[in-house]
Amino acid sequence: MRVLVVGGGGREQAIAWACRRWGHDVDLAPSLPPDTNGIDLVIPGPEAALVDGVADECAARGVPCFGPTAALARLESSKSFARRLSTALGIPGPAWSSFPGPEAVDSAIDWWHRLGEPVVVKADGLAAGKGVVVPTGDDETETAIRASRGPFVLEQRLHGPECSLLALCDGRQAIALPLAQDHKRIGEGDTGLNTGGMGAYAPAPVTADPGELLATFVQPLVEHLAAAGTPYVGVLFAGMMLTADGPRLIEYNCRFGDPEAQTVLPLMDDDLAELARLATSTGFGKRRLTVRPGAACTVVAAAADYPATPATGAVVTIDEAYFAANDDTLLFPSGLADGHTAGGRVLAVTGLGADLGAARRRAYEGMDHVAFDGMQVRGDIAWRAPGAAIGSYAAAGVDIDEGARAVALMRDAVERTHGAEVVSGLGSFGGAFSAKSLLMMADPVLVASTDGVGTKVELAARSGRFRSVGHDIVNHCVNDVLVQAATPLFFLDYVAASRLDATIMAEIVTGMAEACEAAGCTLLGGETAEMPGVYAEGAFDITGTLVGVVDRHAMLPRHDVAAGDVLIGLASSGPHTNGYSLLRRLFEWIPLDATPAGFERPLGETLMEPHRSYLSVLEAALAVGAVKALAHITGGGLIENLPRVLPNDVVAEIDTSSWPIPPLFALVQELATGMDRQELFRTLNMGIGMVVICAPDDVRAVQAAIPEPTWPIGELTPRQDTERPQVTLH
């Protein structure tokens, strides 16, 4: 066929590429030319052309056009029209209301206040993907509403991952293309201004079924329009958010997305032009789409100062030989003219691969063969995808259950070495040893803890933040003996590396010395080992042992822990030293110096915040004499650690809404869509690093003695069934 693609951007280049690969002759034109003789099919690209009636003009000329009429293009050009229609059809979406313009801002603000929830402010008409404001806080919301210059829509702000469903429609039925996810924000970590799109990837690793999404969000609309005598022919793009309450419609577009087209069309192992021609004539019938295995990832290169006022005229250098030699790396020009930048989004590179990781590598390798002054390229396209594929901590390389099995297998061998002087051993937060030679106490007990920093050291090596992991190892051990009310005496350390670097070792040990000084204990040891071949180049590990002492009568946990007691949570300073195998996998594709939305500092600094010590914080509370038990929330989270200080006849009931979830953990919840709440709370501390157990009458006194915010996070109740887990989340 001879195909005319209307438009000249990256999307249209991708449509033309998809047609040419099946042998069709393709022309691109900015608009419908006066003479369309000999044209077998028209495929409009931009939404503006559809709104201006290109499909209507084609119908008048008798030329098949794979695009909706101007009347139906209102699904994109008028958000209020699309919302009214989708609401009438029962298609799930947010609460919303439309307003005619600036004269209605007071009514809009009143509607928002009555809704009582955060909202999104959207221009009602076309805005090239940039007419959406997602304000933070009341002041920004009111400012965004008052800044509206034409008809606008307010929508309840939804939360969850987004995905894009592009469907080919023949007026009666729809066929889905692979689900895609794009990145609208200009900055890494999804920060900064909205753009037309800085990258996309497909298939989107989401739990939602594409067939069910098609049946819910596209097919009802197609059937309704067919019944109304206005069949929809063309691409229908449903932008959705996968919320905790199920998928919800964000918007409809009436054309291929940009850069979604550059991502999903290369995954089609089928003739786009033939399918489009069928849609304009006989319909698809039983024809189904063939999709190639694997994944695609598209990365966009934008001009300097985009999306505000993009600079143009910069010389663009492209290694044409590289792209000619690599079939799995495609280049789609967009804002490019005569070898110079001529628009905001200059070009896109799409990588294809057996999986998303391979596709992503090829896209970025291809982008390395493009250059121009001021080029803006996000380095984190698809950064949210790894979290969607993680269903458990074991999927990130750490099996909590296998760790528990190892403890059970070694228990007999370890306990054979115990004499009467061992008060508590394997399985406790710290081993306890009676040392009556310490005559300052009536019955002094030595409490020892040995631990390591774990895979957090890999982030330390990457970020160069070595002193903080010195704090980590000491404070972790301090907290482990503190839960038995022990005062630290001395700490011994051990650092091993593939290659010793005196500067790095000194930085680590200095961190240990600072933490020991704050805890009032002595740093002993300084043992180091150089082990090439055992540790990877540049890798190192840290372990240590801390010994403390407590008078036996003051040891925790007390024997009177019972049903009715209250659990008081103290804030963590971050993940502490646990869960980093998950976190490293989760944030694998975002630079550590990026500051995700909602963060006050870069991701790397947030992740490397040292494990805090609770020694000085709990000193006054312990002196009150009302603390019955302490639980240090380490590996295994609240679910695995609380039972270590509880009698078998009680259950801990935890209200997970009783403390503010810090931004890092909130982002983990958002990204790790495959992990349920139970798995998250036994992998990470989720903002609670230490738990105090006391009688309900003593809660006020205990909280008053702790010089920082604390939260009653739950209570102990009788355990009716011994098979029931000892920690229940609500």
**Domain limits of the chain?**
2-61, 94-157, 293-381, 383-392+558-730, 418-555
Determine contact, residues 593/187, Cβ cutoff 8 Å.
Answer: no
Alpha-carbon radius of gyration of the chain: 31
Determine contact, residues 1/240, Cβ cutoff 8 Å.
Answer: no
CA atoms of 469 and 122, how far apart (whole Å): 46
CA atoms of 294 and 356, how far apart (whole Å): 7
Whole-number average pLDDT of the chain: 91
CA atoms of 540 and 543, how far apart (whole Å): 10
In the predicted model, is pLDDT for residue 151 greater than 80? yes
Task: Kindly state the DSSP code that residue 598 receives in the 8-state scheme.
Answer: T
Greatest Cα pair distance in the chain? 105
pLDDT the model gives residue 437? 58
Strands 2-6 and 540-551: unpaired
Q: Tell me the average pLDDT across 455-471.
A: 91
pLDDT the model gives residue 528? 77
Q: Where do we find the tokens 């390389």?
A: 397
Tens-place pLDDT, residues 278-335: 999 999 999 989 999 999 999 999 999 999 999 999 999 999 999 999 999 999 999 9
Domain 94-157 is found in CATH 3.30.1490.20: yes
pLDDT the model gives residue 398? 57
The alpha-helical segments, DSSP class H, found in 302-455 are 320-325, 356-367, 385-388, 400-415
pLDDT the model gives residue 435? 63
- CATH fold of 418-555 reads 60s Ribosomal Protein L30; Chain: A; (3.30.1330)
pLDDT the model gives residue 390? 83
What six digits make up the tokens of 241?
Answer: 């958010």
Tens-place pLDDT, residues 511-536: 888 898 899 888 876 677 888 888 88
pLDDT the model gives residue 407? 45
pLDDT the model gives residue 380? 97
Residue 496's Cβ-count burial label (10 Å; 0-12, 13-18, 19+) is middle
What DSSP letter does each residue of 439-466 carry, written as one string? Answer: TTSSSEEEEEEEEE-TTHHHHHHHHT--
pLDDT the model gives residue 427? 61
pLDDT the model gives residue 414? 39
pLDDT the model gives residue 417? 40
pTM for this prediction: 0.87
Q: Where do we find the tokens 């189904």?
A: 288
Task: Judge whether 293-381 and 418-555 match in fold.
Answer: no
pLDDT the model gives residue 495? 86
Which numeric CATH code is attached to 293-381?
A: 3.90.600.10
Phi/psi at 2 (nearest 5 deg)?
A: -100, 115
Determine contact, residues 257/52, Cβ cutoff 8 Å.
Answer: no
Tens-place pLDDT, residues 325-372: 999 999 999 999 999 999 999 999 999 999 999 999 999 999 999 999
Tens-place pLDDT, residues 376-434: 999 999 999 999 878 877 776 656 575 455 445 544 543 554 455 445 555 667 666 56
Taking CA atoms, 597 is separated from 204, 666, 670, in Å, by 21, 11, 12
Most confident of 39-43, 422-426, 507-511: 39-43
CATH superfamily of 383-392+558-730: PurM-like C-terminal domain (3.90.650.10)
Q: Tell me the average pLDDT across 146-165.
A: 93
Task: Kindly state the DSSP code that residue 676 receives in the 8-state scheme.
Answer: -
β-sheet bridge partners, residue 654: 714, 729
pLDDT above 90 as % of the chain: 79
